[in-house]
Structure formats: C-alpha cells, structure tokens
Amino acid sequence: MKAKLIFITGNRGKFLEAQKLLKEFGIELEQVDLDITEPQADSLEEVVRKCAEEALKIVKENFIIDDSGLFIRSLNGFPGVYSSYVYKTIGYKGILKLLSDLTDRSAYFMTALAYGEPRGELKIFSGRVDGIITTEARGENGFGFDPIFKPLGSNLTFAEMSIEEKNKFSHRAKALRAFASWFMSKEKNLEQK
C-alpha cells in the first residue's frame, strides 16, 4: 500500500529527514511551504495545534507539520518554544556563549508533530532526545542547533551525522515513527472495511 502526504514546512532539512524515514513505511512525502505565522504559546504542542488548525483552512490534502525546540536545563528550558527566534537572533554561537560559565550542559530536543485531515482528524505525536550541548560547534550536516547537540549514546553531534544516523536518535524521528505506526494501522483497518 502506498500513501501520500504533504509536509508543511519551510525547513528543507526537516523535510529530508522525514522523507527518508517515512519512505521506510511506504509513505511518500511532498514539501509544501505555506506562510503560516507561528503563534506564541507555552508548549510546542499548543503551537503545532494552532498551526495545524490554520493549515486545515488552506490545504486540501492530508498533511503533517512539526514544531520543534531545544530545551537547556541550566537555562530553565530556554530557548524552548522560542528556539526559532533565538536561532535567528543569537544563533548557536550565542547559546555557546550563554553556557560558557555553566557546568550543567544537559539539554533535550523535542518535536510536536501534527497530522491533519481536511475532513477528518487532527492528531498530535511527540518525540524527545536527551543529550548535551558541546563546548564548541562540530560538523557540517543538518541545520539549526545540530552542530552543538550531542545525543546520549553517541560521540558525534547531529551535524556530524548523516540523515540516517540522526534518524536513529532524533526527537523528530521518534515523533515520526509514532505517527507512522499509528497511520499505517489506521490505513490497514480502512482497507479491511
């Protein structure tokens, strides 16, 4: 069985990660960059739910959309839901500076992933990966904060990994797998009806 979905994102890196992972489940993905303004909210789930509700007014195909963030323990979870703004303003170099005197460098990445159907349901999945912020940037791959994040269980930063390797650890891959398992069993049930 083949399924086709759109991924609403302006971030090509996110799209390539999702495309590779969902292909394993037989789900084909197309990137659509809709200009949806990210609302301010206290959690990634709330942000992605509001974005998905906006998308439902515009798109006619079934879609996924993801909102992600980096949460640093010694900064009480900052930048969290403000990750996009922080990346655009001070970047990962700014984060390294903020942490320069701090010994606790633990952090996690989180993804809230929404799946929406124009005439059906809206469902949210999430994924988290724990790790540490490195003392210097390493690697050329990936995007965003990847050069300064090393997941637990690896000596490499996300930016030193291929997409396949990052997908073994990442917050996004976990959320996507949870979504894909649910989606495939739903499709199977529909086929049997």
Using CB under 6 A as the criterion, which residues of the chain lie in contact with ligand ITT when the complex forms?
9-11, 14, 66-69, 83-84, 87, 109, 142-146, 158, 170, 172
C-beta closer to ligand ITT: residue 134 or 170: 170
Q: For residue 147, is the peptide bond before it cis, meaning its omega torsion is within 30 degrees of 0?
A: no
C-beta closer to ligand ITT: residue 178 or 184: 178
Rg of the chain on CA atoms, in Å: 17
The residue of the chain with the least Cβ separation from ligand ITT equals: 144
Active site residues: 67
Task: Give the HSE-up count for residue 113: Cα atoms under 13 Å, Cβ half-sphere.
Answer: 26
Q: Closest distance between ligand ITT and the C-beta of residue 30, in Å? A: 14
Q: Closest distance between ligand ITT and the C-beta of residue 11, in Å? A: 4
Instruction: Show the beta-strand stretches assigned E in the chain.
Output: 3-8, 27-32, 63-72, 106-116, 122-133, 149-151
- Using alpha carbons, list the distances in angstroms from residue 107 to 40, 52, 169: 22, 27, 14
Q: Closest distance between ligand ITT and the C-beta of residue 103, in Å? A: 23
C-beta closer to ligand ITT: residue 41 or 184: 41
C-beta closer to ligand ITT: residue 90 or 190: 90
Q: Closest distance between ligand ITT and the C-beta of residue 185, in Å? A: 26
Local structure of 176: helix, strand or coil = helix
Which is nearest to 109 in space by CA: 17, 193, 185, 2? Answer: 17
Cα–Cα distance between 163 and 142 in angstroms, integer?
A: 8
